Amino acid sequence: MKRKIIITLGIASLLFIGAGIYIVVSIENTTSELDNLIKLHQVEILREHLLIRIKRVQSDLNLKGTRYARGIDTIVKDVMNMGDAVQICFACHHSEDVTERLVELKDHVGQYKNGLSRVLTVRANASRLDREEDEAFRIGEELIGKVNTMIALTQKKLTERTEHALREISRTKIILFILVVSGPLLAGGAGILFIRGVTKPVSALLNATRKLKGGDLGYRVGPLKDEFGEVADSFNEMAGSLKEQMFKMEESEKRYRALFERAGDGIFMIDTEGEGRFRIVAANHAAAEMHGHTVEELLTMQVADLDGPEEQETHSLFDRIIKGDWINAGATHRRKDGSVFPVEISAGPLELSNHRYVLAFARDITERKLAEEALQRAEQLKVAGDLAAGLTHELKNSLAGIKVSVEVLLDELALSEDDRTVLKNMIQEIRRIELLMKDLLNFARPSKPQLTFVNINTVLDTAMTFSLKNVSSSDNARPITAVKNLDQRLPRTMADPMQLQQVFMNLLLNAVESMSEGGSLTVKTAYEKAADLIHISISDTGKGIEEELAQKIFEPFFTTKPKGTGLGLSITKRLIEQHNGKIRITKNFHSGATFEIALPVKHFEEADVA
């Protein structure tokens, strides 16, 4: 394109220079021709003037001797003027031919002057005077004829030359007019072509730029010529690179957005400057769920609104973070419902677009705290279990001796009925104490499971049969309806059947005891193939259990029975956990409660590894 512009400008310049030279030369030639014509006309005028001078002298000669004759001085003056007029003709530059004729004319004028001189000087001889006058008149007439001839010849040539010059001037005028008119038209046409050659690719590039600005990164410029083609190729490469970079940025943003939104910990971005200081400007769903708010609600709050009642160090922590420190601290936060829970905070500075924020991660450590408390309780229970085991062992022997002694007294002595009743009650209480110590010993030092392949349905069915027989044979028998819904697809699993029977017996007896007026006992089993779990549920229609008591029911020594030890459900939970299972209790919708057990299926190879 640059070369084309230079060539076009060069051609245009040459055309304008040529036209200018032509105009200047034409004007110069025309001016010169007009100057020559003017000079020729001036010469013609001089010849006409000479002719007039000669005719005046000839007229003076004709009028001589009449009453119209002019004075000698006037005649002499006219003759002198005629000679001056001839002399003027030699002031111009003439060709040799013209010069010869002028010399000849001058000589002729000289002869005429001599003849006149003689006419004016001869006085005595009248005949001679007449001859001289005739001769002078003849010479004058010849001179007049010669001048007329010269004037006629030159006038014809001058007319032809003038007409030729006028035609040339007219032709030059037309050419100049054409040049003057066509020059701007050609310049305008060339300009239009040039502008179209520039504006069309520029428009294409501008349209592509607008498309790119509008987000259409897939738009490409069509093929263009010259340098515009290089610009179009560069633009297309730039658009492709930009599209690729935008794709990478979008993918990166999606990844980080997914990490931000799906992170298990709560993530906050908090403003540190201006009027929005301490305001939450971004939060993920985990943060919203953790605090019981929606994300939109969090974005209208300040970070201090989430602090627990004992947290008073937000400002000081922010000052440390703004200075560049990355902090890790424990704190308490408040949910929307007002409940307080422990969190672990990790926060540091973040700068985006020359604006400083605080990036904070919050993790709910309630379960960790509970696990730590449970571990601490387990350690305490272990110590208490060891102590209880030793104490039980010592008390067991003493109680056995007391029991034997009381039984001997009861058999050998002649006692009254009241005393015999007292001794029987003592033996009954000693047996209860022994049972308690046995439970305590089982809780403190549970026996290791003796694993074998068992069918959970069979163990559960046996335990249910024994439990219902125990109820029917007791003094306070009550109508109990048993409902079995056992999944026959349950796989066999490695477990201790005696421990499982103890678990099921304990749960079934508790369920029966809760239905003092009778009711319905439902036992269900199911297999979850995806998780490889066996689910067992035991439901009753008794009085149920309060929600706050359900959280403590598996704790040692906690009982709702007047004569219970509080170790039965604790031992049950311990035995289930020894089988890597889980147990929980839920309150039924209408009445009663349900114990739910989840036992993983353990195969023979797993049992060997264990």
Whether the predicted pLDDT of 540 surpasses 80:
yes
Lowest mean pLDDT across 297-311, 560-574, 580-594? 560-574
Whole-number Å distance between alpha carbons of 557 and 565: 6
pLDDT of amino acid 535: 94
Query: Are residues 254 and 279 both part of a single domain?
Result: no
- Quote the CA–CA distance of 210 and 230 in Å, as a whole number: 19
pLDDT higher than 80, residue 193: no
Give the pLDDT of residue 609: 42
Answer yes or no: is pLDDT of 523 > 90.
yes
Q: How far is CA 335 from CA 265, 300, 364, 461, in A?
A: 15, 15, 11, 46
- Average pLDDT over every residue of 44-69: 74
Structure tokens at 174: 């037309």
Coil, helix or strand at residue 280: strand
Which of 142-146, 183-187, 296-300, 305-309 is the least confident region? 183-187
Instruction: Tell me if 216 is assigned to some domain.
Output: no
Domain match, 478 and 585 both = yes
Return the CATH number at 20: 1.20.120
Q: Give me 70's structure tokens.
A: 């002019």
- Tell me which of 442, 476, 492 is where a domain ends: 442
What is the pLDDT, as a whole number, of residue 563? 57
DSSP state, residue 542: S
Q: Is the residue at 598 inside a domain? A: yes
Dmax (CA) of the chain? 238
Report helix angle 417-444 to 366-412, nearest 10. Answer: 150
Statement to judge: residues 347 and 396 lie in one domain: no
> What is the residue range of 316's domain?
263-364
Q: What pLDDT, on a 0 to 100 scale, did the predictor assign at position 74? A: 78
Note whether 241 and 127 are same-domain residues.
no
**Please, which pLDDT band fits residue 581 given cuts at 50, 70 and 90?**
very high
End-to-end CA distance of the chain: 85
For residues 282 and 72, the model is more confident at: 282
Please tell me whether residues 428 and 467 are part of one structural domain.
no
pLDDT in tens, 96-148: 777 777 777 777 777 777 777 777 776 556 677 777 777 777 777 877 887 77
What pLDDT was estimated at residue 597? 93
Contact present, 282 and 268 (Cβ < 8 Å):
yes
Q: State how far the Cα of 14 lies from the Cα of 10, in Å rounded to an integer.
A: 6
Mean pLDDT of the chain: 76
Q: Is 518 left (phi over 0), alpha (psi -120 to 50) or beta?
A: left
Q: Per-residue pLDDT for 507 more than 80? A: yes
Name the pLDDT band for 536 (thresholds 50, 70, 90): very high
pLDDT > 80? residue 509? yes
pLDDT above 90: residue 527: yes
Report yes or no on 231 lying in a domain.
yes
Residue 37 inside a domain? The answer is: yes
pLDDT band at 598 (very low <50, low <70, confident <90, very high): very high
Q: In what order do the strands lie in the sheet with 593-600?
A: 480-485, 519-528, 533-539, 593-600, 582-587
Task: Give residue 455's pLDDT.
Answer: 92
The band of 600, judged by pLDDT with boundaries at 50, 70 and 90, is very high
Average pLDDT for residues 359-378, to the nearest whole number? 77
Residues 400 and 455 in one domain: no
Q: Where are the alpha helices (DSSP H) in 214-294?
A: 226-262, 285-291
Task: Give pLDDT tens digits for 437-467.
Answer: 666 656 555 567 788 889 999 999 888 888 7
* 206 located within any domain: no
Q: Is the pLDDT of residue 610 over 50?
A: no
- CATH of residue 522's domain is 3.30.565.10
Instruction: Find out whether 591 and 544 touch, Cβ atoms under 8 Å.
Output: yes
CATH number, residue 354: 3.30.450.20
Position 319 pLDDT exceeds 80: no
CATH code, 426: 1.10.287
Indicate whether 146 and 231 sit together in one domain: no
pTM attached to this predicted model = 0.39
Same structural domain for residues 428 and 505?
Answer: no
Which is higher by pLDDT, 188 or 508?
508
Q: Bigger pLDDT: 231 or 562? A: 231
Instruction: State which of 408, 442, 476 marks the end of a domain.
Output: 442
Nearest residue to 436 via CA among 583, 556, 550, 551:
556
Give residue 55's pLDDT: 78
Q: Among 517, 540, 552, which Cα is nearest to 595's?
A: 540
User: What's the confidence (pLDDT) of residue 390?
Assistant: 62
Neighbouring C-alpha atoms within 13 Å toward the C-beta of 340: 8
Most confident of 32-36, 88-92, 470-474: 32-36
Instruction: Indicate whether 570 and 468 sit together in one domain.
Output: yes
Q: Is residue 196 part of a domain?
A: no
Q: How many CB atoms lie within 10 A of CB 483?
A: 10
> Beta strands 519-528 and 582-587: pairing type?
unpaired
pLDDT of residue 312 exceeding 60: no
Q: Are residues 296 and 389 in the same domain?
A: no
Q: Do the Cβ atoms of 261 and 273 come closer than 8 Å? A: no
Same domain, 12 and 150: yes
Domain count, the chain: 5
Cα gap 60→219, rounded to integer Å:
107
- The backbone torsions φ and ψ at residue 493, rounded to the nearest 5 degrees and listed phi first, read -140, 155
45: in domain: yes
Q: Is the pLDDT score of 607 beyond 60? A: no
Of residues 476 and 520, the one with the higher pLDDT is 520
Write the pLDDT tens digit of every residue in 322-365. Answer: 777 888 888 888 888 888 888 888 888 888 777 888 888 888 88
Q: Is residue 92 part of a domain?
A: yes
The kind and range of the H/E element at 479 are none
Q: What order do you get walking across the sheet with 280-283 strand by strand? A: 280-283, 266-271, 355-364, 340-352, 327-334
Q: Point out the domain boundary residue: 442, 460, 491.
A: 442
Asked if 317 and 377 sit in the same domain, the reply is no
Quick one: what percent of the chain has pLDDT higher than 70?
Answer: 80
Q: Which residue has the higher pLDDT, 484 or 383?
A: 484
